[in-house]
Amino acid sequence: MSYLGLDDKKTAITVKELNILLADYHLYYQKLRNFHWNVIGKNFFDLHEKFEELYDDAKLKVDEIAERILTLRYQPVSNFSEYLKTSTVKESPSDLSDSRMIETLLEDHGIILKQLRKVAEVADKGGDEGTIDLVGGYIGELEKTSWMLDAWKMKTNDTHKTL
Ligand SMILES: [Fe+2]
C-alpha cells in the first residue's frame, strides 16, 4: 500500500499509461504551436487564435498529468527524446492546408481519447479515484472540442443525426 492507500502494483500500471498520455499531450501541444504559427489562408485569424487557445489548455493538462504522476510517487517522463519514443501522437509537417490541420487534430483527439479511456480503465482497477477524476474531465472536454472541430469542417448541407 502506498502513502495514499493505493495498491503499489496497480498504481505502477496506471503510471505507465499516464506517462504515455503525458507524451501524447506534449506532441499534441507542440503540434498546436506548429499549426498556430504556420496556418495560412482565409481562416488565418480564426484558426491562429483557436490553436493558441487549445495549446494553452494542453499546456495546463501536461502539468496536471505530470503532477498526478508525482502525487502517485513516481517520476514523470521529462525529456522530449523520450516523448518522441513513447507518444502515439506523431509530429506533423508545417505546410498543411487549414482543413488538413483540423483533420489531423481530430485524428490526434481520437488517439488521446483512447489513451484517456485506457488510463481511466486501469485507474479504476486500482481504485484510484483521483486519476479517474482527472482524466474523466479531460474526456468530456476533448469530446466537446472534437465536436467543434468537426462542425468547422462540415458543409452547411451536412445534416445532424436524428433519433
Ligand atoms: Fe502567438
Kindly report the CATH number assigned to the domain that includes residue 89: 1.20.1260.10
Give domain status of residue 161, yes or no: no
pLDDT band at 138 (very low <50, low <70, confident <90, very high): very high
Give domain status of residue 3, yes or no: no
Q: φ and ψ at 110, to 5 degrees?
A: -60, -45
Residue 68 C-beta-side C-alpha neighbours within 13 Å: 26
Ligand 1 center to 85 CA (angstroms)? 28
pLDDT band at 161 (very low <50, low <70, confident <90, very high): confident
Ligand 1 center to 36 CA (angstroms)? 7
Give domain status of residue 160, yes or no: no
- Total structural domains within the chain: 1
Give domain status of residue 2, yes or no: no
Ligand 1 center to 2 CA (angstroms)? 43
Cell of 144: 466537446
Ligand 1 center to 52 CA (angstroms)? 7
Ligand 1 center to 49 CA (angstroms)? 8
Q: Count other Cβ atoms within 10 Å, centred on residue 122.
A: 20
Ligand 1 center to 51 CA (angstroms)? 9
Give domain status of residue 69, yes or no: yes
Predicted local distance difference test score (pLDDT) of residue 1 = 82
Q: Is the pLDDT of residue 108 over 90?
A: yes
Give domain status of residue 117, yes or no: yes
Mean pLDDT of 129-143: 97
pTM value? 0.95
Give domain status of residue 102, yes or no: yes
Q: Are 66 and 22 in contact (CB under 8 A)?
A: yes
Q: Domain residues for 29?
A: 11-153
Give domain status of residue 1, yes or no: no
Q: Is the pLDDT of residue 159 over 90?
A: no
Local structure of residue 129 (DSSP, 8 states) = H
